[in-house]
Amino acid sequence: MLSELPSEIIYQIATHLPTANALAHLSQTCHRLHDIVTAENSRIFRAFVRSRFPSIETPPFWKDAAQALTSRSRALDRKAIIGRFVVPPETATKIGSHEVIRQDNPTLGYRPAIDSYEIWNGQRWADRKEVLAWGAANQLVMRIKQTGAHSQEDWLVFNDLDHISSYDDICSLHLLSSGNQYSNDTSVEHLIFGRVRGDIAHLIISPNEATFEYKQKFIAHGLKLDKTDLSSDTDSTLAAHFENGSIAFYHTETDREEIEPFTWLIPEGSSRNNYSKLLSSSLVAVGTGNVENSLSISKITPNGVSAYRQIGIGSLDTDSSSLKSKVNIGAIEPLNKHNFAGSPGEVFLTAWDDHTIRLHDLRSPSPSEVSYKDATDLNPIYSLHAFGHERFLAGAGGEAVVKIFDLRMCNTYSYLDAQVPASQSQSTQTPTNTKANTNLRTNAKPRSKKGFSIFLSYPPPPPFPQQTPPPARTRRRGPYRGPIYTMSSPSPSSPTVYTGIVDGVVQLDFASTDDLTGPQKEWYEYNLDLGVNTGAGVLPRWNAEAFNLAGYERPDEDDFATTSKLRNQRAFADLGPGDVAETHTGWDCRWESLEEPGAWRRMDG
């Protein structure tokens, strides 16, 4: 009998169960198993979270953490996605100057630089503070949302300029979470932001008092700014990528009011340095535009920047002729940047001009380990976002496409398996995991399980802020067909990803319909608190109504016969009592079923 086994054996069995519900059902079997499962502050749930989601840090509410993480994983499996626009209300608190005079007449919308974070500030999983901010042209928009026992939502809009032009657009933004090294005062928000004209500053905003204060200025020496990046590890480094291709590096943990770069990375020869990304506080990856060293990784030290690894297009798994005309890298995303990684920053994704996303592991001699591609859509990739340790998202440069790729769908390589143990020296250059050592292979192909791409093509609301005067070239607000510029998730355990489109932000929540409307909906309503309207006649708690997405299941890269079929979502209000998830296919019930294929025949009479 299971109930008669020693508790340690039951403990080991329980950690291999697939879901949090399975653990809950085990605890309901008898009093003894219930006592074992709930012992020592739900010790089994803690082990479950750490074994099933090893790279995701959570607060010690282990039972709720297990439920939240398995819910998100299940939603990703079922393609259960909820799309909503994030729309600032007219009642948002205004901070600074808002009687501005426009000195130019822009014909294109702004590109929102987005950042977000969440922290737990109570005694339950539901007690969270989430902050979302983005640059809306010259203004900074911020939403502060408290969930749980004292739910509340506050909006503010900051601007300190009287005369503006497109050079005053905010092109970079980094929130510094409450209780960081700068201050323990959780009533104020710290952030670093930069404008195109080259102003980079550390700003403090007090939402309650509607005031602001500049704490520090990062000296840019008159250069116009393209983007900035802030490393996520403890010893934070700020990198500023300027329009001329040069990159300046700044220490952020200093009390100086004006901060000079401690070192620079200057393009050499014909290099353009068209894209860069901090992999950690000591590693930076740069797309140079050159054929020989298309991707250059450098070490950052107080004494300067030194070459660490170079990858040319000739060494990649592609016909090099397809890249020779323009060797651009559109996006880079670190994967093992969490505290469990033995060598943070040495595993990352890159998006290349041949429409291929590649996973690189600097501890391996191979130039790349796995490649991912959506052969259906050949737009360039503008943004990458690692979503947990299971998937990553890619934002296309057109057609409003967000592609979902599965990091686990590879027979020969797992970046998690290949991680160096934390106790091992970080100077080790190759993975020590036996499985990883024997299985590493260039251009490993994902398994046959198909990926999924979605269109954020719903007509967007009017842009915020309203342009005064309005742009000379006005267009009808039809379905969105533009790029996905940026992505941000509040935490590694969050079910939400915020995506930046032209003139706005779209919120994507990964949550299954049968979770939100089923027998345990009270748990999801209280602990996730997505504020989704799942029925008729009820207003959404947080901001706008959900809109219906469309998407397609991608055929395998080497499958030239299968045609991608478009699927469309239904509104929550259109679902009936008999609508449940397609158990045989695993699709969320909001996706309309595809018609059965029939015999082909002419339909023209």
Q: Using one digit for the tens of pLDDT, what is the confidence trace for 82-126?
A: 999 999 998 999 999 888 888 888 878 899 999 999 999 999 999
pLDDT for residue 604: 47
Tell me the CB-side half-sphere exposure of residue 340, using CA atoms within 13 A: 16
Listed in sequence order, the residues at least 6 apart from 8 whose beta carbon sits closer than 8 Å to its beta carbon are none
Place of tokens 């699927």: 567
Query: Token digits for 69?
Result: 């993480």
What was the pLDDT predicted at 239? 97
Per-10-residue mean pLDDT of the chain, 605 residues long, equals 70 69 69 65 76 84 90 92 94 90 84 96 94 96 94 94 93 81 71 97 95 97 97 86 96 94 87 87 92 90 91 74 68 76 80 92 90 91 89 96 86 50 36 34 45 93 65 64 96 96 96 90 92 74 86 79 85 78 73 67 45
Ordered DSSP codes for 99-148: --EE-S--SS-----EEEEEEE-SSSTT-EEEEEEEEETTEEEEEEEE-S
CA torsion 485-488-492-495 (nearest 10°) is -90
375's CB contacts (< 8 A; 6+ apart) are: 355, 554, 555, 557
CA of 303: how far to CAs of 130, 131, 340, in Å?
A: 38, 36, 28
The Cα–Cα gap between 538 and 48 comes to: 36
Crossing angle of the two packed helices 7-14 and 31-52, in degrees rounded to 10 = 40
Closest CA relative to residue 384, chosen from 414, 364, 419, 359: 359
Q: CA 504 → CA 134, 165, 385, distances in Å?
A: 9, 19, 18
Among residues 144, 141, 115, 119, the alpha carbon closest in space to that of 131 is found at 144
Place of tokens 């079923």: 593
Which one, of 193, 261, 199, 256, lies nearest residue 224 by Cα?
199
Helix (H) or strand (E) holding 387: strand 381-387
In the chain, where the domains are located: 229-324+351-363
Distance CA 559, CA 345 (A): 34
| Contact assessment for residue 5 and residue 26, using Cβ atoms and an 8 Å cutoff | no
Nearest-10 Cα torsion for 417, 335, 133, 491: 10
Can you tell me the distance from the alpha carbon of 328 to that of 321, in angstroms, rounded to the nearest whole number? 14
Cα three-residue angle 418-421-426, rounded to 5 degrees: 95
DSSP symbol at 177: -
pLDDT for the residue 204: 96
Q: Is the pTM of this model over 0.75?
A: yes
Determine the distance from the C-alpha atom of residue 459 to the mean position of all C-alpha atoms in its chain, rounded to a whole number.
Answer: 23
* Distance separating alpha carbons of residues 279 and 593, to the nearest angstrom: 42
Q: How far apart are the C-alpha atoms of 148 and 145, rounded to whole Å?
A: 10
CA distance 192 to 190: 7
Name the DSSP letter for residue 193: E
CA–CA distance, 157 with 94 (Å, rounded to integer): 5
The tally of CA atoms less than 13 A away on the side-chain side of residue 153 is 15
Residue pLDDT, tens place only, 515-557: 998 888 999 999 999 988 887 656 777 778 899 999 999 887 6
For residue 114, count CB atoms less than 10 angstroms from its CB and return exposed for 0-12, middle for 13-18, buried for 19 or more.
buried
Instruction: For 62-99, give one letter per residue: b (16+ CB within 10 A) or e.
Output: bbbbbbbbbbbbbbbbbbbbbbbbbebeeeeeebbeee
Q: CB–CB of 196/225 below 8 Å?
A: yes
Judge residue 492's burial from the number of C-beta atoms within 10 Å of its C-beta, 0-12 exposed, 13-18 middle, 19 or more buried: middle
Residues forming a β-bridge with 249: 239, 263
